[in-house]
Every structure is written in structure tokens, then in C-alpha cells.
Amino acid sequence: MRKHRNRTGVPTVVITGASSGIGQATAEAFARKGARLVLVARDADAIEAVAQDCRDLGAESMAIAADITDAVAVAEVAQRAADFGGGIDVWVSNVGAGAVGAFHEVPLEAHEQVVRTNLIGHMNDAHAVLPFFLRQRRGVFVNMISLGGFAAAPYAAAYSASKFGLRGLGEALRGELHHEPDIHVCDIYPSFVDTPGISHGANYTGRELSAPPPVLDARRVADAIVDLAERPRPTTMLGAPTTLIRLAHAVSPELTTRAMALFLESYFRRAPRTAVAPGNLFRPARQPGGIDGGLRSPAQRSGLAGLAVGAAAIGILAVALKGRR
């Protein structure tokens, strides 16, 4: 971050969606680096608790309760951050939401909220901070996507649409900023991450949701984000599934999507029943949940390993069949 430090000598980092999961892990990682932090989430108490943890790590931290789907509120966050830190050096656009279920069974307002959060929210972030970057002639915008930016996930149609859109947003912004060598838009594509996000998300399947191994530690993603702040690059992929799925989708999108559908349908048949609920889609979770979601426990790994191997085999088979054709 040395190259991007503002006139105060301490880099100012804004992180949206910082009250749990990847956002909280990233806040703590930057705090250990001595950054000045502006942490944003909808839940005022939850984001203040994370800010206090970062203060305990020695970082000057400000908590702001704001919803990134509100463009005016995000613009105010950017101004407050610039006033707080004497500029903005890094903006981590991290908020994400999902609604799992058959497309026609998920309420349309849930689909709309996913797109509003994942895509419009990130656009609000970029629209708010880019004027500051342009005046400074420097800055790093970290655009959190996922492996869903490379291949659609059946039963998560709005999520897939939003992640494809984020990839387009990042590419378009890099094109517009080609004449600004010290302003960077960095897309990051982690595979499945162990956070409370899956348990907190909207679930219209009637089955408990989880993620197949290997599942990344959110702290590994946080370390990659800190590294991007120091050594920016356009695209960062994390986790072997991202590389495999990206390759399989490039070779045969239809076979890959069908394989993913088979994998999910197999999982839904086996998973325990649970209540249909909108989760934290429209309001903050009752309990923020911390960084970890419990998806890397031995029981979780053993229960899903067979499905994961099957999904990988189908993906590889899709590539092989396409090659023979």
C-alpha cells in the first residue's frame, strides 16, 4: 500500500459489507497492516463491534451504518471517508447477497434485491469513489465477484446474473481508466468460502444449504485483498474450483451448466429439510456471525466430499467430451 498512501502517510481503506465473513476478515487484515479503516454495513451495532476489534489491533477505525443500495448514502460514506483519512486509497466493494431456489419459486422482489445488492450496490460504490481517485490520480477499487462470475449457478439465477454483471462492470471501468496508470480496478474471484453468508442468505429450496469442499478460509481471501492493495492486478482467482469451472465453462457452457444443475439437484435430494426464509436479504441478520461459517468442519467435509468429487468429475468429463467433438 506504500505507493498509494495519501498525504497523511497512512492508507485509508473503505470496506463495505464489513460486519462478518470476508469483510470482517479483510478489516482485521488491514488493521494489522496499520491502515486507517472506514467500515460499512447495515447493522450499526455489528459494524461498530468490528471497528472496535480493529481499534484493539491498533488501527484507527470508523464505523458507518449504511445500505449500499442507497446511492446517496454511499456518496456520503465516500465523503466522510475522505474527510476522515485525507483521501481514499483503497475501496473494497464486498457486499454480497443470494437467494437460492427454482427461479419461478423465488419471489420476484427477492431476485430484484439480489441484483440491487450485488450489482447496483457495487456500481454505487464505484460511482462514489472514482471521483476521489481521479482527483488524486491514484486508488485501488477491489471488486468482489466469485466463481459465479465465470459460470452460472442453476437455482441462483439472480445471483448469477449479478456476478456476470460485475465482471462486465470491472472490464468496462478498466477500459475507461486506461489513461490512469495509478487507478486500478481489481476483480477477485474466490471459490466457495467459509463464511456465515450461506446460512444467512435467502433460502427458498426448503433444504439446508451448504458448500462443497474444498472451502476457502475467509482469511485467505482477506490476505489476497491486502496483496491487491499493494500489488494491483486486474484479475485474481482463488481456489482450485474457480480455475476448473472457468476452464470447463469456456470449453462447453451448456455441459457445465447441466453438470452444475445435476450436482445441486443431487444435493437438494439429500439435504435435511428446513424452513423457507428470506434470511438477511431485506434486513440485517439477527446475529452477524463473525468470520467463519462452520463449513470446514470434519462432518461437513465428509458429508459433501462425494458430491464434490462427482461434480468435479462431471466438469472434467464435459471438457473431455467437448474436446472429442
pLDDT at 71 over 80: yes
Q: pLDDT tens digits, residue range 24-47?
A: 999 999 999 999 999 999 999 999
The β-bridge relationship of strands 202-203 and 36-41 is unpaired
pLDDT at 285 over 60: yes
Instruction: Report which of 129, 128, 10 is spatially closest to residue 61, judged by C-alpha positions.
Output: 10
Indicate the pLDDT class of residue 301, thresholds 50, 70 and 90: very low
Amino acid identity at 90: V
Ramachandran angles phi, psi of 140, nearest 5°: -125, 125
Most confident of 95-99, 240-244, 258-262, 305-309: 95-99
Q: What percent of the chain is predicted at pLDDT more than 90?
A: 71
pLDDT at 253 over 50: yes
Amino acid identity at 279: G
Instruction: Map grid coordinates 449504511 to a residue.
Output: 66
pLDDT at 273 over 50: yes
Q: Are 120 and 166 in contact (CB under 8 A)?
A: no
Peptide bond into 214 cis (omega under 30): yes
Catalytic residue, candidates 159, 189, 204, 267: 159
For position 260, what pLDDT does the model report?
85
Mean of the per-residue pLDDT values of the chain: 89
Instruction: Report which of 299, 301, 297, 310 is spatially closest to residue 264, judged by C-alpha positions.
Output: 310
Please give the residue that has the higher pLDDT: either 87 or 310: 87
d(CA 243, CA 247) in angstroms, rounded, equals: 6
Q: Is 177 helix (H, G, I), strand (E, B) or coil?
A: coil
The β-bridge relationship of strands 90-93 and 61-65 is unpaired
For position 27, what pLDDT does the model report?
98
d(CA 166, CA 274) in angstroms, rounded, equals: 31
Please give the residue that has the higher pLDDT: either 260 or 217: 217
For position 310, what pLDDT does the model report?
43
For position 231, what pLDDT does the model report?
97
pLDDT at 297 over 80: no
Indicate the pLDDT class of residue 289, thresholds 50, 70 and 90: confident
For position 4, what pLDDT does the model report?
54
Instruction: Report which of 147, 170, 165 is spatially closest to residue 234, judged by C-alpha positions.
Output: 170
pLDDT at 242 over 90: no
CATH homologous superfamily of 2-324: NAD(P)-binding Rossmann-like Domain (3.40.50.720)
Catalytic residue at 20? no
pTM more than 0.85: yes
For position 300, what pLDDT does the model report?
46
For position 6, what pLDDT does the model report?
56
For position 248, what pLDDT does the model report?
82
Instruction: Supply angle C-alpha 272, 244, 151, rounded to 5.
Output: 70
Catalytic residue at 146? yes
Kindly give the residue spans of alpha helices, DSSP state H, lying in the chain. Answer: 21-32, 44-56, 71-85, 108-115, 121-136, 157-176, 197-200, 218-230, 240-251, 253-270, 298-324
For position 293, what pLDDT does the model report?
87
Q: What is the largest CA-CA distance in the chain?
A: 60
Q: Are 82 and 185 in contact (CB under 8 A)?
A: no
Catalytic residue, candidates 61, 93, 146, 199: 146
d(CA 133, CA 181) in angstroms, rounded, equals: 11
Residues 47-85 as b/e (b if ≥16 CB within 10 A, e otherwise) read bbbbbebbeebebbbbbbbbbbbeeebbeebbebbbebb
pLDDT at 323 over 90: no
CB neighbourhood size of 108 (10 A): 10
Helix axes 157-176, 108-115, angle to 10 degrees: 20
Q: pLDDT tens digits, residue range 165-222?
A: 999 999 999 999 999 999 999 999 999 999 998 888 999 999 999 887 789 999 999 9
For position 7, what pLDDT does the model report?
55
For position 225, what pLDDT does the model report?
98
Cα 73 to chain center, whole Å?
20
Ramachandran angles phi, psi of 143, nearest 5°: -105, 100
Q: Is 101 helix (H, G, I), strand (E, B) or coil?
A: coil
Catalytic residue, candidates 19, 155, 160, 163: 163
Catalytic residue at 322? no
For position 309, what pLDDT does the model report?
42
d(CA 176, CA 173) in angstroms, rounded, equals: 5
